Amino acid sequence: MAFRKWRPREEAAGRPALEEKDLPPDYNPDRDDTLFWWTEDGYIIAHDQACQLEYVAACACAECGGTLAVIAQINRAWQGLNEVVAVCRRCRARYSFIFDISNAVYQAWWARQLGELYVPQYDGPPRTPYEPSG
């Protein structure tokens, strides 16, 4: 899977780029190369809410090749995680994607989003991403 930084239509057309306030609120413009890498524990690195939905949308059902629909998000922030549950639209096979949100990119974005309401919920150190091979 190849994911690129979101590029506004205006920028692609040679017009001035959008400011952060004009981006979708669930998108983090500070995404870096570790997006969608894995941690030692097998969690997927997430940098915002939008990327989690993008990841699931890019996956096909292993059983029938159908598209997946997100049916739940489980807040596991106290573990530095967010779980996204999906089901195949065709055969109803179920999938669970567990995203690491302990990383500095996600936490800085979340702190900006919440402002003075931000309270870190995970006390542990950020998980280390593994660079994908080949």
- Torsion, CA 53, CA 48, CA 31, CA 28, rounded to 10: 110
Q: Is residue 9 part of a domain?
A: no
Mean pLDDT, range 14-40, rounded to an integer:
85
Checking if the pLDDT of 47 tops 80, the result is yes
Q: Is residue 85 assigned to a domain?
A: yes
**Number of folded domains that form the chain:** 1
Question: Phi and psi of 111, rounded to 5°?
Answer: -65, -40
Encode pLDDT of 71-126 as tens digits. 999 999 999 999 999 999 999 999 999 999 999 999 999 999 999 999 999 999 99
Both tokens assigned to 85? 């549950």
Residue 125, domain member (yes or no): no
Residue 36 has pLDDT above 90, yes or no: yes
pLDDT of residue 19: 72
pLDDT digits (tens, 9 = 90+) for 2-23: 444 545 444 555 556 667 678 8
Domain, as residue range, for 89: 43-118
Mean of pLDDT over the chain: 89
Q: Is 35 domain-assigned?
A: no
Task: Tell me how far apart the alpha carbons of residues 100 and 106 are, in angstroms, rounded to a whole number.
Answer: 9
**pTM recorded for the entire structure:** 0.83
Q: Is residue 95 part of a domain?
A: yes
Alpha carbons within 13 A on the beta-carbon side of 35: 24
Q: What is the pLDDT of residue 22?
A: 81
Instruction: For tokens 């919440």, name the residue.
Output: 114
